[in-house]
A and B are shown apart, each in its own frame.
Chain A
């Protein structure tokens, strides 16, 4: 189905007025992630729809693996269920548009034993306006916008994509990103151009970038006194066996720098491109360490590399696959998140209604 075609109205269901009874219905239907949901009444869905320029029956595509048609109205119902405030809805829609881009591979993300879940990175002026947390504890807790936007996207994957553990979702372990994982770039403390510019968008727009990852690899550097020292520690942490990298040519790795680390690195004279190039050169492992382990794929780098025990394999195939984002609050901590296996990540611009 092409984008922005028209589809039928979503089916209506009768739910009990009693809160607990309604929750039991949602649980019996397997429409929830285990947490209580807000019943998506006609009135609440209408409020959500008022915040998008797109008509309710606009079809954005089909969500793999169940292939259900994703309409704006159905996304709105899931956003209500997740607890979103109506003004968040354009961000939810942009996130869904990103997931539906073929290079995101939403069906594989939903089905893999690897336990991947979308990480949503919001960049742009709307992030602050909507209160999407970019600072202290931005990866989890406290903030409604982060919690509910991420959850709405996961409920769409569940209820329209069929990503349910009793069906096609097959994660061995999964991670809490399967409930919700959304944060904003800390643009006020970014020493470089904003992330959306790296993704090909202008300063004035707000974007949502989505990438499926298996979790967060935290890195602490509280001793080194230079930016190069921080980068050395970060690269050391990323040179690890067992992460789904080094043999996946087209997938990105998100490097989320805490503002203090970012500032120290910038003071050492690194541009953002410089950071990407440093990590590309230093996040490498020898073939002898990788051969026969993890997701070893002998055809990936060609026979010349594979025959050479000392050949150094880079974590990604090009520096541009390193997504550098500044986020978080005070403290000398950063994190990296390798994309899952086939997910190349995707970005969509947020469309809002005319003021």
Chain B
């Protein structure tokens, strides 16, 4: 999981580690200044994507 500002960096890092195409869930940026309720809303919206990434066949 990564915020949008770091998406390119995350993709490059995955490639460096030999994990090109590794599923990456992208969160809105910035995250640090969001309220707890806003973070919970983002979590509810993205939990399916996280589960999908974790259970996807390699």
Contacts and interface: CB of A to CB of B under 8 A. Distances in A.
B12 A168 contact: yes
B6 A65 contact: no
A111 B9 CA distance: 9
B13 interface: yes
Nearest to A167: B12
A36 B17 CA distance: 32
A283 to B, nearest CB: 27
B5 A170 contact: yes
A168 B13 contact: yes
Nearest to B9: A168
A307 interface: no
B9 A66 contact: no
Interface residues of B, number: 8
A21 to B, nearest CB: 29
Interface string B6-33: 1011001100110000000000000000
Contacts of A168: 9, 12-13
B20 to A, nearest CB: 14
A168 B17 CA distance: 13
B-side binding surface: helix, strand, loop or mixed? helix
Contacts of B12: 65-66, 162, 167-168
Interface string A58-71: 00000001110000
A167 B6 CA distance: 9
A-side binding surface: helix, strand, loop or mixed? loop
Contacts of A166: 8
A170 B8 CA distance: 10
A167 B8 contact: yes
B8 A65 contact: no
A313 to B, nearest CB: 22
A65 B13 contact: yes
Contacts of B16: 65-67, 162
Nearest to B18: A67
A67 B12 CA distance: 11
B21 to A, nearest CB: 18
A180 to B, nearest CB: 24
B10 to A, nearest CB: 9
B50 to A, nearest CB: 23
B13 A170 contact: no
Contacts of A67: 16-17
A67 B9 CA distance: 14
A65 B17 CA distance: 10
Interface in A160-198: 162, 166-168, 170
Interface string A63-105: 0011100000000000000000000000000000000000000
Interface string A283-299: 00000000000000000
Given A65-B12, A166-B8, A170-B5, 9 more contacts: A65-B16, A66-B12, A66-B16, A67-B16, A111-B9, A162-B12, A167-B8, A167-B9, A168-B12
Interface of A: 65-67, 111, 162, 166-168, 170
20 contacts: A65-B12, A65-B13, A65-B16, A66-B12, A66-B16, A67-B16, A67-B17, A111-B9, A162-B12, A162-B16, A166-B8, A167-B8, A167-B9, A167-B12, A168-B9, A168-B12, A168-B13, A170-B5, A170-B6, A170-B9
10 pairs of A and B residues whose beta carbons are closest in the complex: A168-B9, A167-B12, A67-B16, A168-B12, A66-B16, A170-B9, A65-B13, A168-B13, A170-B6, A65-B16
